[in-house]
Structures are given as structure tokens and as C-alpha cells.
Amino acid sequence: MIYDYVVIGAGSAGCAVAARLAESGEHEVVLLEAGGPDDLDLIHVPAGIPFLFKSAVDWDFATEPQKQLKGRADYAPRGKTYGGTSSINAQVVQRGAHGSYDEWAEAGNKGWAFADLLPIFKHIEHNERGASEWHGVGGPINVADQRDPNPVTLACIEAAIEAGYARNDDFNGVGQLGFGMHQVSQKEGTRCSAARGYLHPSLGRENFTVVPFAQASRLTFDGRRCTGVVYRDPAGEHTVTARREVVLSAGAFGSPQLLLLSGVGGRHQLERHGIDLVAHLPGVGENLYDHVMVPTNHYCTQPITLAAAGTEEQAARFANEKMGLLTSNLAEGGGFVQIGEGNVPDVQFHFGPLFFLHHGASNPEGHGFVAFTILGRPRSVGRVELRSADPAAKPVIDPNFLDDERDLDGLVAGVRIVQDILGSAALNGYRGDPYPAAAMSRDDEEVRDYIRDYAQTLYHPVGTCAMGSGQMAVVDHELRVHGVDGLRVADASVMPYIVNANTNFPSIMIGERCAELMLG
């Protein structure tokens, strides 16, 4: 099978780059996806997220035991279906601070300053609020205000205002500081994933082919030119060839793994696994950043939270009106605060009408609500390595959470902010006891211990194929892999530094940017 372009991975970035490459009709494009079509009903129900964890549409990764989390291994979900993680995420629409991207450009990545990228962000969205200086209409991803926000989330926002913070009705406008409700990637109360926005409208194109259940095993090379990919599906092993280029969009875990399996990476790691070297790039798999968060949960004194989402009444409301608890994206509201130096807010917060402990696995019975304290600018850096030369083996994932003591200090400061907010009068009609009680402790050492017990990923791994020109860079500013021809990477792995907010829209932007660069 021969195509002009081969794209590996139908996730947030992969759907965008593949659809844009096919859009002109001038090029034959194939998109390989290890999972299947996004036809599971729960994908399209916004509040169905907990039931997608560890399901057939989840890669179900886990980290290595984290020494600063008392030896706990952390669960790391990634979408394994059309739309990738945009089909299982919390649908929060965040771009990240303008300064996050300006830092990329200042590091030598021409064309990646926020001013360069704003037109792309606007091109992605159809914002139901209408077109403006900051927002676009007519794009593939529908961006909406929430149809039926929970009263306890609205009360959390008012509590933040009472605690002295500004109100912010648009985190993707002039600035992020303050608190408000999130806009969400939803359309008429249902999820609007990258698959729904980009992939489905392209499926009828004669020049566009999508192959489901196709897990890439290795890239093929003629000398140092990437020529295609070997993949396995239920029918066996196949090779697909690219006349022009291959685009790797397998995510922050999958992209470095496939490069390493194909001989592109650090020489010593490849030798250890008996893999022939194609290009020595020691940065492949390094530079892993992720947002670590800690939840603060309270019982809710009113029976209005997502604990009631599974009732027949709520199912009927969703089916008939696309209203009710099932339209919740879980992380309904939040905000940003700056506690350190610089021009980028460094602590983020989410509020949700549910208990959430250890990814939901340790939730108590009954009604509750949660505030997440999120480290937006982590300093701890981890890595992704091969576990073996078997493509079916999951990689070694070590985010190295809280290895830098300043990260723990930042979380403690953020938890103190949450404690003040949750103690405000606006929550008096909803706030029951904290669970567990240590979450509201005023003793710093008890809070540090609580963080080590309950901190977890916020599901935003990035950076493992970092963009740049230094020794540890993997791709250049046009996303071309150093040292080889005909190969680009387009997903969250190319971020040289993590943006300070949710990474789904930035990942889509990277896919759009890659197609733009390829098509000139």
C-alpha cells in the first residue's frame, strides 16, 4: 500500500493533521489507529469519563513507582480509539498562557510564539459565543458554555470571588488569572472530540483512508530516509509506504516508543535492546513533563452531585433534552493564580461536582464535590524508555513526580488557597465534612503527607520528542525529526516545555501547525 502521507495515531493531533492533509484532495493520505472507531455510546456522554477508564478505549498505562509518592505507581489513561484522548478526556477548552508559547519561540523555535499561533487556535474552533479578537467561528471543534452547570460548582466560583480572587469568564482571552466556568468541547450537550470535528467529516473523501486496530510496530527506512511503517492488525502484519512523508502522532508515550523501536534514539538504550541504530538522538523519551494535581474533597449536604448521574431520571433527561447531570464534563469550573515569579500563572484549579480520589478508585459513597490543585509549571522532569524490543510491551513511564522540592512547595501553597476558597460563605449550603480530613489540615507537614498519599497525574504528559536545536532536541521548529528525512512528529511530545493549562487544544493546534508546515 502506497500513499503520499502516512499518519500514525488518530488522536487529537493526528486527526487534525490527517484531515487537513486530505482536505485539498491533492494528496492520498492514510491514518493508522491502534484502537477502533469511536462508536462506544459512553464516549459521547460527557459525564461518562469514569467508565472509559481501563476500558477497551484506554491504553491503560501506569507509571513506575514514584519515590516521592510513597512508592505508588500512578495510573495514566490515554485514549485508544478514534479521537484518542480527546474521546475520553474532560473536554476542558484551554490554550495555555500566551507566555507559555513565547518561551518556545524564545528558545529558538521560530513560528511558535503565541502571536503566530493565535490564528491557528481561532481556526480550530467554532465558538458559540461568536467571533472576536480571541475566538473563531466555523472551525471543526465546537466550543460551548456548559448547558447545565452544577449548583455546587457555581457556588465554588462564588466562593473564590468571596476569597478575593477576580472573576474570569474567558481563560482563552486576554489573560488567565481569576476564576470562572470552563468552556467545553461539546456540541448540543455531547462530546465534540477531534474525531467528531476532524475525522468524521473526512471519512467520505476518496483520497483519505483510515485503518482501525492497526498498531504500528516500527518505521521503515532506506538509509536515513523514513519510507513507511510496519503495523499489525487482526489480519496480520502489513507495510505501508509514504511517497512524501510519515507523521508520527502517537502521543507523549507512543511516539518516543515507536522511534526507539525503529532505531531512532539514544545509542546505549538501543544497544541494550538489540535494536540497530538509524539515528543517535539521545533526547528521544527524555524531557517528560506532566501536570501533577492533588484533590480536596468534601461531602455535599445536598443530593445534587454526579453520585445521582446513573438514575433513570438523568438518563431520560440526557436522551430527551441533552440536559442534566450527564452533560457535566466533571471539571466544570476553575481558575488560575500566580504564586511565583514570571508572567505565566503557575497554579491552576478545577472544581467538580463529584468525589475524586486516586482517579475515582478510592471515592467514598454518597454525594461530594472536589477542588483540584494543579501544578501548572512543574520543574520535575521524567522520561519514557523501552521496556523491551517487543512493540506490544508497554513502555517504561517515569514522570519523576515531585522530585524537585519546589513542586511540593507549590502544591502546598495551592492547597492553602483551596482551603480558603472552600471555607467561604458561598459554600455554606453545600459544604459537609472534608474527606479525608487531612485535606483541610493547617499543619504543613500533614498537608505534605496528604499530597504524597493522593497526588496524581492530571493526564497531560508532554515533551518526550522535544522541539529545538540543542543536543537533546528531537524535532526542529518545522517538526522534522533531526538526523533523518521524511519523518515528522506532531503531538504533545514535541512541546519543549509544558504549557500551564490543559493540553488537548494545544495538541490539536500542533496537528494543525504540522499540516500547515507540510502544505506550505
State which H helix or E strand residue 180 sits in: strand 178-181
Task: Say how far apart CA 248 and CA 240 lie, in whole Å.
Answer: 14
Cα 143-492-106 angle, rounded to 5 deg: 100
Q: Which amino acid is residue 211, in one-letter code?
A: V
Evaluated on CA atoms 419, 425, 431, 437, the torsion sign reads positive
Task: Say how far apart CA 283 and CA 102 lie, in whole Å.
Answer: 22
Shortest CA distance to 116 belongs to which of 129, 131, 104?
Answer: 104
Q: In the chain, what's the furthest Cα-to-Cα distance?
A: 68
Q: Which amino acid is residue 451, in one-letter code?
A: I
Contact 329, 46 (CB under 8 A): yes
Q: How far is CA 476 from CA 108, 359, 466, 486, in A?
A: 9, 36, 9, 13
485: β partners: 225
**Residues in contact with 48: Cβ distance below 8 Å, sequence separation at least 6, in sequence order:** 41, 42, 326
293: β partners: 374, 456
Task: Say how far apart CA 384 and CA 397 lie, in whole Å.
Answer: 5
Provide DSSP, 363-423: PPSS-EEEEEEEESS----BEEE-S-S-TTSPPEEE--TT-SHHHHHHHHHHHHHHHHHHT
Task: Say how far apart CA 359 and CA 371 lie, in whole Å.
Answer: 14
List Cβ<8 Å contacts ≥24 apart for 356-359.
356/295, 356/297, 356/330, 357/295, 357/297, 357/435, 357/454, 358/75, 358/454, 358/456, 359/53, 359/75, 359/77, 359/456
Active site residues: 460
3-state DSSP assignment of residue 307: helix
Q: DSSP E strands: which ranges in 212-248?
A: 215-222, 225-233, 236-248
3-state DSSP assignment of residue 426: helix
Rounded to 10°, the helix 405-422/151-162 angle is 100
What is the chain's alpha carbon radius of gyration, rounded to the nearest angstrom? 22
Look-up of cell digits 484533590:
295
